């Protein structure tokens, strides 16, 4: 590494990321893009490839916003792009493998077109080993920046375009909040809104607390102003984002204001649907349940990752709840919101998981009756405590457990959807179905996908659809004419 490279190279450090202090979180305002950088992209195009969760999807919207302020235009065609950015996910090994595959594949394009700027950002950039591997094996990458450095993009891009060396800027510990970032939202109907960043839970298998920094909440007035603005612009749905939204407000030193309070305030805003993801079972308090039970624009869908149905496994995962506590929470939620749809995330094959312990997960699934579940085979992440644990569960067994779990969930999903046969549901019509342009598709308040035939002018609006063909993952129905089922959001 030469001097020039040192100038921009701040290596990420997992250990530093773990040291959480009580330092104040600063709220910064995104500056106007400096004059000399505002026209850099004129006549040029960008392409962002996004992997991972909704945070990343939304970060890509911010990155797009910054690039467009620099004059760039979006494209879907690699050949047309002057900049290709890969927004990466580090949650499981296969997520990382896909990114390495993509970086390798893009080498050909970069060789043919040396002026192409190839960059990597997102959660993988926060891992030392990844940055080192890119520095040594993938020198055709021009720019690496971390999840805390997005607002620095204009400067980093400027350096990368001017210099010949790879520009790397990744901060390990800093956890500031940057307001006023520009955004190019995916559509005009549904919008993501960050309410907090980072995660302090440190579940033993998970890389996120290292890649996303410490838990920090945006000021309620900033969140509410953003949602009001989206409502004014005609958005029909917002999803509030955080790795653990129930921890919202814990870090606000100047007031006592938590997630339940935020939801209660969001309820008063004229936006038809409000979702949130993800809630951690540990901090799901009674006030929040009480507020969600008021419904209105707060939809009756809660994603409540369980991870396992066995208390011993939950303990070594450091989830900080037992199976009994989780079930008690589920009972409380169902009592307050009888038509609630619960979904979850489950990990199978955690180090040392026995057949019996796995069966507890199966029985939890049956007891809760989730409408759907994201299920994963445990993947060791370097630097996390679980990666150092002895894992004597063979891959074959893990795969077989995943299959059994999925079979059970499919049967439950099918049963749950079958119960909707004949019902008229409120659907937010999103567009033409991917498979058949004559079919429209949209989502219920509980986020189920509904396909039906109807006029195109319904796109972007609410329609009432009678479900007449429920399937395991989707619902098919017919437009229910003028039949009213009450006000939107009732």
Binding site membership for [4Fe-4S] cluster: which residues? Answer: 53, 89, 123, 199, 203, 206
Instruction: Name the binder of 373 from ligand F3S, ligand SAH, ligand SF4, none, CB < 5-8 A by kind.
Output: none
Q: Which stretch binds ligand SAH (CB under 6 A): 27-35, 43-51, 364-372, 373-381?
A: 373-381
Cβ closest to ligand SF4, residue 203 vs residue 304: 203
DSSP per-residue codes, 166-211: PEEE--SS---EEES-----S-SSEEEEE-EE------TT--HHHH
Q: Is 17 in the site for ligand SF4 (CB under 6 A)?
A: no
Taking the complex as a whole, the smallest distance from the CB of residue 208 to ligand SF4 amounts, in Å, to 4
Judged by beta carbon distances under 5 to 8 A according to partner kind, the member of ligand F3S, ligand SAH, ligand SF4, none in contact with residue 220 is none
340 binds ligand F3S (CB under 6 A): no
CA distance 449 to 433: 10
> What are the CA-CA distances from residue 94 to residues 51, 98, 100, 373, 379 (Å)?
11, 6, 10, 19, 9
Q: Using the rule CB under 6 A, is 52 a contact of ligand F3S?
A: yes
**Cα gap 227→223, rounded to integer Å:** 6
**Per-residue x/- marks for ligand F3S, 114-143, CB under 6 A?**
--------xx--------------------
Q: What is the dihedral of CA 258, 262, 264, 270, to 10 degrees?
A: 180
Q: List the one residue from 62, 69, 125, 211 that touches ligand F3S (CB under 6 A).
A: 211
Q: Which residue has the tokens 């006549």?
A: 43
CA distance 459 to 194: 26
Q: How far apart are CA 235 and CA 118, in angstroms?
A: 33
In this structure, the dihedral spanned by the alpha carbons of residues 359, 402, 130 and 154, taken in order and rounded to 10 degrees, is: -100
At 78 the three-state DSSP class reads helix
Site string for ligand SF4, 238-267 (x = CB under 6 A): -----xx-----------------------
CB of 236 to ligand F3S, least distance (A): 25
> Is residue 365 within the footprint of ligand F3S (CB under 6 A)?
no
CB burial readout 30-56, b (16+ within 10 A) else e: beebeeebeebbeebbbbbbbbbbebb
Neighbours of 469 (CB within 10 A): 13
Cβ proximity to ligand SAH: between 154 and 209 the closer is 209
379 binds ligand SAH (CB under 6 A): yes
Using CB under 6 A, which residues numbered 224 to 243 contact ligand SF4? Answer: 243
- Binding site partner of 60, from ligand SAH, ligand F3S, ligand SF4, none, Cβ cut-off 5-8 A by kind: none
Q: Are 476 and 467 in contact (CB under 8 A)?
A: yes
Of residues 68 and 200, the one with the C-beta less far from ligand SAH: 200
Asked if residues 466 and 426 have their Cβ atoms less than 8 Å apart, the reply is no
Distance between CA 47 and CA 247 in Å, rounded? 34
Look-up of token digits 């809104």: 193
Nearer to ligand SAH, 123 or 465 (CB): 123
Closest Cα partner for 480 from 462, 470, 417? 462
The site for ligand F3S, by CB under 6 A, has a size of: 13
User: Is residue 243 part of the contact set for ligand SAH (CB under 6 A)?
Assistant: yes
Give the H/E segment covering residue 105.
helix 93-112
| Contact positions with ligand SF4 (CB under 6 A) in 156-215 | 199, 201-203, 206, 208-209
From the list 123-131, 212-220, 308-316, 371-379, the region that binds ligand SAH by CB under 6 A is 371-379
Site residues (vs ligand SAH, CB under 6 A)? 91-92, 205-206, 208, 243-244, 278, 280, 305, 307, 345, 347, 376, 378-379, 381
Site residues (vs ligand SF4, CB under 6 A)? 199, 201-203, 206, 208-209, 243-244, 280
């Amino acid at each position: 590494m030469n001097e020039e490279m040192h100038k921009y190279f701040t290596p990420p450090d997992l250990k530093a990321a773990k040291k959480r202090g009580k330092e104040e979180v600063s709220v910064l305002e995104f500056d106007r893009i400096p004059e000399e950088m505002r026209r850099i992209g004129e006549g040029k195009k960008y392409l962002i490839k996004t992997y991972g969760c909704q945070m990343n999807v939304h970060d890509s919207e911010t990155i797009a916003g910054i690039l467009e302020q620099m004059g760039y235009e979006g494209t879907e065609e690699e050949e047309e792009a002057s900049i290709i950015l890969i927004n990466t996910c580090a949650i499981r090994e296969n997520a990382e493998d896909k990114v390495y595959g993509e970086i390798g594949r893009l080498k050909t394009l970069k060789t043919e077109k040396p002026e192409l700027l190839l960059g990597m950002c997102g959660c993988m950039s926060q891992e030392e080993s990844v940055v080192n591997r890119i520095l040594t094996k993938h020198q055709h990458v021009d720019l690496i920046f971390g999840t805390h450095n997005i607002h620095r993009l204009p400067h980093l891009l400027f350096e990368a375009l001017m210099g010949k060396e790879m520009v790397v800027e990744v901060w390990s510990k800093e956890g500031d909040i940057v307001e006023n970032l520009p955004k190019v939202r995916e559509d005009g109907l549904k919008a993501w809104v960050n309410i907090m960043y980072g995660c302090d839970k440190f579940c033993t298998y998970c890389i996120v607390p290292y890649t996303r920094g410490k838990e920090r909440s945006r000021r309620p007035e900033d969140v509410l102003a953003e949602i009001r603005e989206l409502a004014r612009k005609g958005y029909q749905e917002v999803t509030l984002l955080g790795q653990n939204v129930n921890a919202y407000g814990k870090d606000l030193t100047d007031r006592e204001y938590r997630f339940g309070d935020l939801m209660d305030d969001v309820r008063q805003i004229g936006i038809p649907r409000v979702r949130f993801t993800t809630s951690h079972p540990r901090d799901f308090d009674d006030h929040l349940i009480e507020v969600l039970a008021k419904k209105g624009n707060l939809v009756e869908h809660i994603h409540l990752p369980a991870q396992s149905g066995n208390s011993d496994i939950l303990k070594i995962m450091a989830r900080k709840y037992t199976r009994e506590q989780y079930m008690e929470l589920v009972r409380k939620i169902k009592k307050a919101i009888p038509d609630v749809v619960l979904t979850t995330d489950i990990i199978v094959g955690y180090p040392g998981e026995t057949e019996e312990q796995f069966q507890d997960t199966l029985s939890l699934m049956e007891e809760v009756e989730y409408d759907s579940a994201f299920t994963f085979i445990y993947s060791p992440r370097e630097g996390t405590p679980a990666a150092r644990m002895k894992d004597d569960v063979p891959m074959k067994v893990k795969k077989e457990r995943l299959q059994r779990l999925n079979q059970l969930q499919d049967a439950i999903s099918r049963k749950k959807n079958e119960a909707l046969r004949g019902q008229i549901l409120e659907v937010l019509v999103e567009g033409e179905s991917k498979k058949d342009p004559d079919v429209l598709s949209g989502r219920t308040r509980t986020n189920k996908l509904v396909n039906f035939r109807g006029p195109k002018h319904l796109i972007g609006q609410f329609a009432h659809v009678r479900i007449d063909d429920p399937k395991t993952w989707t619902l098919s129905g017919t437009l229910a004419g003028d039949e009213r089922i009450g006000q939107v959001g009732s």
